Amino acid sequence: MSTAKDTAKEIVSFRNVAKKYRGGSVGVENINVTIKEGEFVCFIGTSGSGKTTTMRMINRMIDPSKGTITFKGHNIRHYDPVKLRRTIGYVIQNNGLMPHMTIQENITLVPRLLKWPQEKMDKKARELINLADLPESFLDRYPAELSGGQQQRIGVVRALAADQDLILMDEPFGALDPITRDDLQELIKHLQEELGKTIVFVTHDMDEALKLATHIVIMDSGHVIQDDTPDNILQHPANDFVKDLLGEERLLQAQQNTLSVSDIMSTNPAKITLGKSLAEAIRTMSLRHVDYLLVTDDDNKLKGYIDLETINERYSKDASVSDIYNRTRMKFKKDSYLRDTSEKILKQGYKYVPIVDNDNYLIGTVTRASLVNIIYDAIWGKEELDNPDEIKLPASIAKGSDKS
Amino acid sequence: MINFLNQHGSELIIKTWEQIYISALALFLGILVAVPLGIILTRYEKTAKYVMSISSMLQTIPSLALLTLMIPIFGIGKLPAIVALFIYSLLPILRNTYIGMNKVNKNLIDAAKGLGMTTAQSIFKVEIPMAMPIIMAGIRLSAVYVISWSTLASYIGAGGLGDFIFNGLNLYNPSLIIGGTIPVSILAILTDYLLGKFEKKVTPVTKSGVKK
């Protein structure tokens, strides 16, 4: 079922899954989603979109009325629901800690159900409280004595107590303040990236989804609208609903994040081949109104650049471009993302950077000016660009942003 | 008072014991039936409504009438009294158990299930401990009711401290009435106090440093 090029094993798959409630109201319909090991999957949608229903079907909190769900290759119907739930981590909003159990008892709740020996549980409790970045003395306390953020940290690590590979999280940070939420988001990102846990995360917060997910499933009124990577969703929203969900601001910002340099490069760079004379170089510069030229060989492979200053210093009638050109300091491959490149260009003060394809053939340039346009869009929005006079440029960007 | 004790001392002890015996048995049976029933009813919302109204209806029958109604079925003596008081003890315990169980944070039940607890584990390890204070409040209320109402049981020949009171009424002897009433009150207060202690013990701790 997984495509050949993806090596990661699938851990959960939905095939034509539907849930109809008594009385005929439809919970979800026609769900086809594959979750691979190590992924961070966000189910996102408005309330009533079926995102929580879909997630809760994985550990059989809700049974589907139609279709099959597999967990590690087996139909979940063949698992005993209680045993299945003990092998899948579960984190809910408002932490769901048992108020009458100590933190240690809460953390080792599933191991106790699995009847682990006491020593092993003690060790696990200490290991997990360290993972949660809380002092070991907290193990003897009760949940009410911890802050909301600390409680949810325990709620998160509790889901790992029996070494579960898959963790389900149902809007776990909805009730937390933004700073605490950031901390916890880092904690679970760590679980996914460092410990290789697969996380299925339900949220209605697009920022959260874009920040955490490697795979986003957008849902609306019981249907999957789009199922893709965050980058692809930002670049190619499936329909207006997805666009609305993302918001115009985010789409603009995302342009910078998901555009590749080849999307904004000018494909007609000022260039010259190695064998030409310097006089010819100067003529080309004046024709193109620039003070530099990219230097290529006869096959259009990028060799370096030459600028007016160098020519001035080292001019001689007999010299050709190949004698005095500079080796390229910086170039970008055509599919590198703007977000990785724009900062380098802006901070290091380059006016232009040549863009090459995988075989080092010159295919264009990205200039400071074209970059700055994108950044304006992201910072001030498109409308204000209609009145460019009113915009006060931040000094760092305004400086040296000439049109080359 | 010393006079009263000299005259009725041994009788007082026997009657008090009878009172305790009747009410304790009725209460015990009440708990035995009402607590599990209340828990089961939380799983059947629709049935719960009917059961609750029936038990409320039973509660509205005047106590003396209920005791008398038992005579054709169970005759006279302790048995009809225990049955009648048992019926009375049901409602407060049943209602509090039902409410207590229903009021348990749904998040906790969801977490318990999602973490892999069986229904029984969820009920015994999570829901009952959480509902305990409310269930105990119902039991304490029933206990006080049953002890004071068991006084009336003497009317159908069950014995108990009611014998003093009814004798006092018949003989126009206030000291007998008072001598029967005071032990009943003391018994009720003492029971409530002891159950209060017990409640503290069975109510789960949620703060460290609080000794059971």
> Does the distance separating the beta carbons of A102 and B111 come in below 8 Å?
no
Structure tokens at A280: 């010819």
Each domain of chain B, given as residue ranges in start order, spans 2-202
A94 three-state secondary structure: coil
Chain A positions touching B208 (Cβ under 8 A) are 102, 140-142, 145
A67-77: pLDDT as tens digits = 999 999 899 99
> Does the distance separating the beta carbons of A144 and B208 come in below 8 Å?
no
Q: How far apart are CA A52 and CA A13, in angstroms?
A: 16
Amino acid present at A390 = E
Residue B138 confidence (pLDDT): 93
Residue A383 confidence (pLDDT): 52
Strands A40-44 and A215-220: parallel
Looking at domain B2-202, its CATH class is mainly alpha
Q: Is the pLDDT score of A121 beyond 50?
A: yes
Cβ neighbours of B173 (radius 10 Å): 13
Percent of chain A with pLDDT over 70: 88
Chain B positions touching A116 (Cβ under 8 A) are none
- pLDDT category at A7 given cuts 50, 70, 90 is low
Q: Is the pLDDT score of A339 beyond 80?
A: no
ipTM over 0.95 threshold: no
Amino acid present at A120 = K
Chain A positions touching B116 (Cβ under 8 A) are 82-86, 110, 113
A403 three-state secondary structure: coil
Residue A101 confidence (pLDDT): 92
Structure tokens at B92: 């407060």
Q: Is the pLDDT score of A399 beyond 50?
A: no
Residue B211 confidence (pLDDT): 45
Strands A166-170 and A40-44: unpaired
Of A82, A94, A145, the CB nearest to B107: A94
Q: How far apart are CA A129 and CA A137, in angstroms?
A: 9
Q: Is the pLDDT score of A152 beyond 80?
A: yes
Contact B106, B43 (CB under 8 A): no
Judge whether B118 is closer than 8 Å to chain A, CB to CB: yes
CATH homologous superfamily for the domain A262-389: CBS-domain (3.10.580.10)
Chain A residue at shortest CA distance from B119: A82
Judge whether A320 is closer than 8 Å to chain B, CB to CB: no
> Does the distance separating the beta carbons of A141 and B111 come in below 8 Å?
no
Each domain of chain A, given as residue ranges in start order, spans 10-254, 262-389
Taking 70 as the pLDDT cut, the residues of chain B under it are 1, 209-212
Could you tell me the CA-to-CA distances from A307 to A38, A270, A323, A370, B168 in Å, in that order?
49, 11, 13, 20, 124
Chain A residue at shortest CA distance from B206: A100
Judge whether A105 is closer than 8 Å to chain B, CB to CB: no
Residue B1 confidence (pLDDT): 66
- pLDDT category at A380 given cuts 50, 70, 90 is low
Residue A158 confidence (pLDDT): 92
pLDDT, averaged across chain A: 83
Residue that wins the pLDDT comparison between A401 and B68: B68
Judge whether B10 is closer than 8 Å to chain A, CB to CB: no
B118 three-state secondary structure: coil
Strands A198-203 and A40-44: parallel
A297-314: pLDDT as tens digits = 888 888 888 888 888 888
Q: How far apart are CA A191 and CA A170, in angstroms?
A: 16
Q: How far is A189 from chain B (nearest CA, A)?
A: 21
Mean pLDDT of A9-37: 88
A10-254: CATH architecture: 3-Layer(aba) Sandwich (3.40)
Radius of gyration of chain A measured on its C-alpha atoms: 28
The Cα diameter of chain A in Å comes to 91
Chain B positions touching A84 (Cβ under 8 A) are 116
Sheet with A10-20: strands ordered across: A26-36, A10-20, A66-71, A74-75
Structure tokens at A193: 């990236």
Across chain B, how many H-helices and E-strands are there? 9, 0
B123-151: pLDDT as tens digits = 999 999 999 999 999 999 999 989 988 88
Cβ neighbours of A38 (radius 10 Å): 17
A234-253: pLDDT as tens digits = 888 888 888 888 887 777 77
Q: Is the pLDDT score of A6 beyond 90?
A: no
How many residues are present in chain B? 212
> Does the distance separating the beta carbons of B110 and A61 come in below 8 Å?
yes
Taken in order A124, A125, A128, A134, the sign of the CA dihedral is negative
Q: How far apart are CA B155 and CA B103, in angstroms?
A: 40
Percent of chain A with pLDDT over 90: 30
Contact A52, A66 (CB under 8 A): no
> Does the distance separating the beta carbons of A100 and B129 come in below 8 Å?
yes
Q: Is the pLDDT score of A342 beyond 90?
A: no
Chain A positions touching B130 (Cβ under 8 A) are 99-100
Chain A positions touching B124 (Cβ under 8 A) are none
Mean pLDDT of A155-176: 89
Chosen for mutation from A82, A105, A108 (greatest number of chain B CBs closer than 10 Å) is A82
